[in-house]
Amino acid sequence: MSYAICFNSHGGPEVLEWTHVPVGEPGPNQVRLRHTAIGVNFLDIYERTGLYATRFPAIPGREAAGVVEVVGSRVKGFVAGDRVAYVGSQSGAYSEARVMDVDRLVKLPDGITDQQAAAVLLKGLTAHMLLRQTYRVRKGETLLIHAAAGGVGLIAVQWARHLGARVVAIVGSESKRDRVRALGIDHVLLLDEDWVAQIKSLTRNRGVSVVYDSVGKDTFERSLDCLRTRGMMVTYGNSSGPVPPIAPLELSKRGSLYLTRPTLFNYIAQRRALDNAARELFELVQRAVINVHVGQSYPLKDAARAQADLESRRTEGSTVLLP
């Protein structure tokens, strides 16, 4: 037995409870892990509120780092004592220990701490998906990144800059603006200003090549208005609520736009894709091209407070839970 955060109904952070749970023994292709740091993601909130489907009783969390304690009979390539991290296709990371499929584990290289791994893996693989695959960013292009001081946002702006893009970032407060500017991003706009007009002026009415929009409902339509002819709208999150249905003619009348709604798990389903993306990410972290900012950490027991802070926009960078 060990402790985990569980919930048995959808609702606010108060449905999350500190609970004694069985961990179990690993199957042939599984390991038992002792978690050392757990990543908090907005996705965990969608599952708690019911926006994304969940089965009860549920343990939130898709991302953690830890140490392998027991390996299943057919496991190759991992031994007890290995430092690992994972992005799970199933939740269960808000726990002291868990059984995990081995095909989702990545070994942690030297120079990446457990807390860094829990802070960067899911969010950094998302940035890899967005900038390297969904729309492959090229040198000199202008792009727009929403929620730029957030978990995914801070990683994405650093990566986009490294790729040679001209980054326009949007944030919700002056202090978040300072955080993003400190990374060398010149154009950091405020969400409650007329950022569409500002982007038109910055691009001499041309518009940006691609918008990465995780805010969703509140920004979707205005984001479309920032794109150049045949630009790409990447809507990848619902922090303010899900985007309502849209008529294809809206894309046509704004200049033959492209629209996509990517999900990380479709991009890392194959082992090779996961390994390649993780290798690229860890290398950039080790070279300090991407600095991982753990803006806040909480004891695992206080997961409800961590989610409440994330939901109410009080956080910067990544949030980590410590068992």
Ligand X SMILES: NC(=O)c1ccc[n+]([C@@H]2O[C@H](COP(=O)([O-])OP(=O)(O)OC[C@H]3O[C@@H](n4cnc5c(N)ncnc54)[C@H](OP(=O)(O)O)[C@@H]3O)[C@@H](O)[C@H]2O)c1
Give the whole-angstrom CA distance, residue 148 versus residue 195. 14
Q: How far is the CB of 98 from ligand X (least distance, A)?
A: 20
Binding site for ligand X (CB under 6 A): 41-43, 123, 126, 147, 149-153, 171-173, 176, 191, 214-215, 218, 236-240, 262-264, 310-311, 313, 315
Q: How far is the CB of 44 from ligand X (least distance, A)?
A: 8
Give the whole-angstrom CA distance, residue 222 versus residue 224. 5
Q: How far is the CB of 181 from ligand X (least distance, A)?
A: 13
Using DSSP's 3-state secondary structure scheme, residue 182 falls into coil
**DSSP code for 58:** B
Q: How many CA atoms lie within 13 A of 84 on its CB side?
A: 27
Give the whole-angstrom CA distance, residue 291 versus residue 116. 9
Q: How far is the CB of 250 from ligand X (least distance, A)?
A: 21
Closer to ligand X by Cβ: residue 295 or 323: 295
Give the whole-angstrom CA distance, residue 32 versus residue 102. 9
Q: How far is the CB of 110 from ligand X (least distance, A)?
A: 26
Strand pairing partners for 169?
145, 188
Closer to ligand X by Cβ: residue 161 or 313: 313
- SS3 per-residue string spanning 144-163: EECCCCCHHHHHHHHHHHHC
Closer to ligand X by Cβ: residue 103 or 178: 178
Give the whole-angstrom CA distance, residue 270 versus residue 105. 12
Closer to ligand X by Cβ: residue 71 or 160: 160
Got the DSSP string for 214-277? -S-TTTHHHHHTTEEEEEEEEE---TT-PPPP--HHHHHHTTS-EEE---HHHHS-SHHHHHHH
Q: How far is the CB of 276 from ligand X (least distance, A)?
A: 17
Closer to ligand X by Cβ: residue 45 or 68: 45
Closer to ligand X by Cβ: residue 75 or 131: 131
